[in-house]
Amino acid sequence: MNKLGGNATTVGVVLPTFKPGSYILEMLESIERQILEYPAIDVELRLCVILNGPRSPYYNQLLQKITGLPFSSSLLFTSIAGVSHARNMGLEQCSESDYIIFVDDDDLLSDHFVSSLVQKISNVKSDRVIAQSNTRAFDEQGTDFGEHYISAGIRHILEVGNTRFSLYRYRVFLNSVCGKLFPRSLIGDLRFDEGLSISEDALFLFALSNRLDGIVLVPEVYYSIRHREGSASRKKKSLTKIIGEMFSFVHKLTRTYFRHPHPRTFLLYLSRVAASLKFMTQRIVHNR
């Protein structure tokens, strides 16, 4: 893997989208702004947009937009809906990249996001670490939701100081794949479970945790999450559906753990089970 020496360091950006609205243009613009920093560090972006679900009229609109971007970009289409399938397609497309970033189509990257994560992770002499940015959440009017749990986790780690890495101690950073920089070699042949409709990120990161030796925190830059009323995560579901999804996740989580049981992942496994029960309760309350 290139460590900012010799040839350019390549960063694959995996961007799934389903019936995208105008918000995806803001995400693309925030990605485009990243290249303004590249003369200082030799980084090459490779954007992969994966349109899943209906093709028309979105495909031609997206193709027109990404064609004008000043870096390598590709547009894939699949009629199979689901973010996991789309991300898996993106991973295949970006198989030759040094690093991978996952983004959602309605979120935003702060300026210097890519360069800051690449620089921080490049200072670590290991390909078994990931970089974690700060995180904020905002609504469609731009109102900030206050301190995000990722920000609180980073603040706590930095306040304690000299905190030895453990999967359980850093578990707050193992829920979402967004806001992170992954060495492509660390991901290897690991893929998202396409049978899950929720918590697919948590299962992916749990499966990855056996390979993980550390998480580099980068509090200077933000991954910004937009809360939309029409987003899939905010749609109401029946009680049966909520409980069924939770049990499906716990079943697959348990199967993943016992495939390669290890003391270093046991507490993380228990915390994921407890978190899924808490999340299920919150979803039931939210549906009322």
CATH number at residue 169: 3.90.550.10
Q: Are residues 14 and 110 in the same domain?
A: yes
Q: Are residues 42 and 88 in the same domain?
A: yes
pLDDT on residue 3:
46
Is residue 1, in this structure, part of any structural domain at all?
no
Q: Are residues 27 and 50 in the same domain?
A: yes
Instruction: Choose one of 207, 228, 249: the last residue of a domain.
Output: 228
Q: Are residues 145 and 195 in the same domain?
A: yes
Query: How many angstroms separate the Cα of 279 from the Cα of each of 42, 90, 131, 239, 240?
Result: 41, 28, 25, 13, 15
pLDDT on residue 287:
66
Give the Cα separation of 113 and 135 in Å (integer).
11
Quick check: 38 pLDDT over 60? Answer: no
Task: List, in order, residues 6 or more apart from 111 with CB less than 8 Å away.
Answer: 33, 34, 36, 37, 221
Is residue 27, in this structure, part of any structural domain at all?
yes
Confidence of residue 233 (pLDDT cuts 50, 70, 90): low
**By three-state DSSP, how is residue 75 classified?**
strand
**Residue 109 lies in domain:** 9-228
Q: Which residue has the higher pLDDT, 48 or 2?
A: 48
Strand 43-52 with 72-78, pairing: parallel
Mean pLDDT on 119-136? 95
Is residue 34, in this structure, part of any structural domain at all?
yes
Q: Are residues 176 and 213 in the same domain?
A: yes
Give the Cα separation of 173 and 219 in Å (integer).
13
Percent of the chain with pLDDT over 70: 93
Q: Which residue has the higher pLDDT, 6 or 173?
A: 173
- Both tokens of 57, joined, read 């009229």
pLDDT on residue 5:
44
Q: Are residues 222 and 241 in the same domain?
A: no
Quick check: 25 pLDDT over 60? Answer: yes
Is residue 23, in this structure, part of any structural domain at all?
yes
Quick check: 86 pLDDT over 50? Answer: yes
pLDDT on residue 8:
85
Q: Are residues 195 and 277 in the same domain?
A: no
Q: Are residues 13 and 110 in the same domain?
A: yes
Quick check: 251 pLDDT over 60? Answer: yes
Q: Are residues 240 and 224 in the same domain?
A: no
DSSP letter (8 states) at residue 211? T
Is residue 76, in this structure, part of any structural domain at all?
yes
pLDDT averaged over every residue in the chain: 91
Is residue 71, in this structure, part of any structural domain at all?
yes
Instruction: Choose one of 184, 202, 228: the last residue of a domain.
Output: 228
Where does residue 275 rank: exposed (0-12), middle (13-18), buried (19+ CB within 10 A)? middle
Q: Which residue has the higher pLDDT, 240 or 192?
A: 192
pLDDT on residue 95:
95
pTM for the model = 0.92
Quick check: 159 pLDDT over 70? Answer: yes
Confidence of residue 112 (pLDDT cuts 50, 70, 90): very high
Mean pLDDT on 203-226? 97
DSSP 110-128: -TTHHHHHHHHHHTSS-SS
Q: Are residues 33 and 80 in the same domain?
A: yes
Q: Which residue has the higher pLDDT, 82 or 141?
A: 82
Is residue 2, in this structure, part of any structural domain at all?
no
Mean pLDDT on 77-85? 96
pLDDT on residue 230:
61
Residue with tokens 């970006």, as numbered in its chain: 94
Quick check: 39 pLDDT over 60? Answer: no
Q: What's the structural domain count of the chain? A: 2
Could you tell me if residue 72 is left (phi over 0), alpha (psi between -120 and 50 degrees) or otherwise beta?
beta
pLDDT on residue 93:
97
Quick check: 236 pLDDT over 90? Answer: no
Amino acid at 212: L
